[in-house]
Structure 1
Amino acid sequence: MEKITKLLEKQHSGKKVLVLFLLTNIVYAYMLLVTIPATMDFSNGLQLLDMMPAGYDLEVVNTLFHTLGDIGRQTYLSKQIPIDMIYPLLFAISYAGVLAYFLTKLPKLNPKFLYLCILPIIAGIADYIENIGIISMLNTYPTVTETSVHITSMFSIIKSSATTIYFLVLIVVLIILGFRKLKPRSKN
């Protein structure tokens, strides 16, 4: 853990963080505007598994996969999943960098706060495991097992929970920085 926090402290330059942030969000925008809608064209309005932060059960998975049909399931495998195998790495690196960048702007930073930068890394790892589970279920459909659904759903929940906590932490840090920026001005 110490090595990770030292790496984050060194890699928080504004330009690096900005470039990674932009690249990550370009990939995310591509998923939101192209690959997810292309897959959802076959879903009859049902959400994709990646987009269910509270998880899902066997019935939901079977209903979705049945509704997608052969072409929709193939679209999920060949269009959405490949891009979603790039995004978690970019998310983990860039969002850890974003938080590290802003945390190091706080005066008298307790180095233990840099451990919070691990949240997007946890989300990224969970996203990969979720993706592997979705690939496995798509490839074994219609014989999807309750166990595979439960494990994949659990990692969907971990991904969304870590992401939510991350953004809450980031908002708190930005609010603290905002107040600190405003404080000297109000004294003048």
Structure 2
Amino acid sequence: MQLNKQRIYKFAKGKNVLVLFVVTNSVYAIMLLHTIPRVMQFSNGMKLLDMMPSGYTPEYVSKLFATLGHEGRRLYLWNQIPIDMVYPFLFGICYSLLLIYFFKKINRLNSKILYLGILPIIAGIADYTENFGIITMLNTTPENIQTIAQLTNVFTLIKSIASTIYFVILLVTIIVLLAKKMKKRISK
């Protein structure tokens, strides 16, 4: 797979990354502060599938959907899911460019390390697949969710693993950048 590095470098500039970061996290804040709590009013304390990074069982899905009832499932499908169809795209692009931006800052842009910027895109694709599974289950509940729940759970786990690895790499990169800046400051 050949990456067009010049095009990627062009977009991984401070202002672009900052604007994307603000937009991405504004959408995330809307989900965390509005749409998810609105659906969770019907969940009796059960977590929504989107918010379970370690996965879930088909039995949990059945219990959650039964607990949500018709109105909770309707809100999940028509309030939470639509905004969560925007977020994975923003997450993938924003956090890829953010990592590449920091790689540029520490002079570590070679073709191999640049591929780490794909992790947020993998997480975003897995998030979309998870969303399509949730939509399917919400539309077919309570029948026939066993297989769909198991498959959707796989994509939930892929999303979680890719995101976790990404944030560890981002944290290490930021620590390296700060160490370089401190070393430079001390040497002056």
- When normalised by structure 1's length, the TM-score is 0.96
Kept in 1: contact 2:130–2:155 (CA 8 A): yes
- Residue 97 (structure 2) pairs with residue 97 (structure 1): yes
Kept in 1: contact 2:57–2:149 (CA 8 A): yes
SS at structure 2 position matched to 1:142:
coil
- Residue 175 (structure 2) pairs with residue 170 (structure 1): no
Within a 5 Å distance, the mapping from 1:16-165 to structure 2 comes to 16-107=16-107, 109-165=109-165
CA distance in 1, matches of 2:123, 2:30: 20
Within a 5 Å distance, the mapping from 1:169-188 to structure 2 comes to 169-188=169-188
CA distance in 2, matches of 1:109, 1:3: 12
Any unmatched runs of 5+ in structure 1? none
CA distance in 1, matches of 2:135, 2:90: 20
CA distance in 1, matches of 2:92, 2:108: 26
CA distance in 2, matches of 1:148, 1:177: 43
CA distance in 2, matches of 1:127, 1:29: 17
Kept in 1: contact 2:100–2:109 (CA 8 A): no
Q: Which moved more, 1:3-12 or 1:99-108?
A: 3-12
Kept in 2: contact 1:81–1:131 (CA 8 A): yes
- Matched to 2:159, the amino acid is K
Residues 4, 162 of structure 1: alpha-carbon distance in 2 compared, 3 angstrom cutoff: farther
CA distance in 2, matches of 1:6, 1:24: 24
Detail structure 1 runs of 4+ shifted over 6 Å in the superposition: none
Residues 110, 136 of structure 1: alpha-carbon distance in 2 compared, 3 angstrom cutoff: same
State the aligned residue count.
Answer: 188
Kept in 2: contact 1:43–1:72 (CA 8 A): yes
Identity of aligned residues (%): 56
- Matched to 2:78, the amino acid is S
CA distance in 1, matches of 2:67, 2:5: 45
After superposition, the CA RMSD in angstroms is 1.2
Shift of 1:6: 4.4
CA distance in 2, matches of 1:4, 1:64: 44
Residues 64, 5 of structure 1: alpha-carbon distance in 2 compared, 3 angstrom cutoff: farther
- When normalised by structure 2's length, the TM-score is 0.96
